[in-house]
């Protein structure tokens, strides 16, 4: 199974995420889930389970420079730090702390992208198995 997890940590989250809809439409075989900073524990549990069960996963984190609280994201981050997993982490926006965290882990595939680049990166990464 291939998966796409979209994590929105911005203050102006909305129910409709065009990036998520585009990935779902472009890659119907990829399991898609989106969460935000206010997602409850059950939804966070599903996100973690999706990451653990996926053979290949792309995680896109949308963040702002002033986003402070990463506490709810820590179980997901810890899962992403596991070695030997096929995962790509995309950071949409500027967040110095997340950039340092991922840059310090050479075994994690990590890229800073714009919103327009997210779908193309997912297609490139998940399309390798097709």
65-119 tens-digit pLDDT: 776 667 678 888 888 888 888 899 999 988 888 888 888 888 889 999 999 999 9
Q: Let me know: does 6 contact 16? Beta carbons within 8 Å.
A: no
Query: What pLDDT does 14 receive?
Result: 66
What CA–CA distance (Å, rounded) separates 71 from 60?
17
Q: Residue 8 is part of a domain; what is its CATH number?
A: 3.40.50.10140
Q: What is the pTM of this model?
A: 0.89
Pairing of strands 2-8, 56-62: parallel
Domain hosting 118: range is 2-127
What CA–CA distance (Å, rounded) separates 82 from 31?
20
Give which of 49, 120, 122, 67 is closest to 89, Cα–Cα. 122
- pLDDT tens digits, residue range 25-66? 999 999 999 998 788 889 999 999 999 999 999 999 998 877
| Structural domains counted in the chain | 1
Q: Let me know: does 62 contact 87? Beta carbons within 8 Å.
A: no
């Amino acid at each position: 199974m291939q998966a796409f997890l979209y994590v929105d940590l911005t203050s102006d989250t909305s129910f409709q995420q065009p990036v998520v809809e585009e990935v779902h439409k472009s890659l119907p075989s990829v399991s898609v889930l989106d969460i935000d900073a206010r997602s409850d524990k059950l939804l966070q549990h599903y996100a973690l389970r999706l990451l653990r069960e996926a053979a290949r996963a792309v995680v896109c984190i949308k963040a702002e420079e002033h986003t402070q609280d990463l506490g709810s994201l820590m179980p997901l981050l810890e899962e992403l730090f596991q070695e030997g997993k096929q995962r790509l982490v995309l950071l949409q926006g500027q967040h110095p702390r997340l950039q340092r965290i991922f840059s310090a882990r050479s075994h994690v595939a990590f890229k800073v992208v714009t919103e327009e680049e997210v779908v193309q990166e997912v297609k490139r990464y998940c399309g390798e198995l097709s």
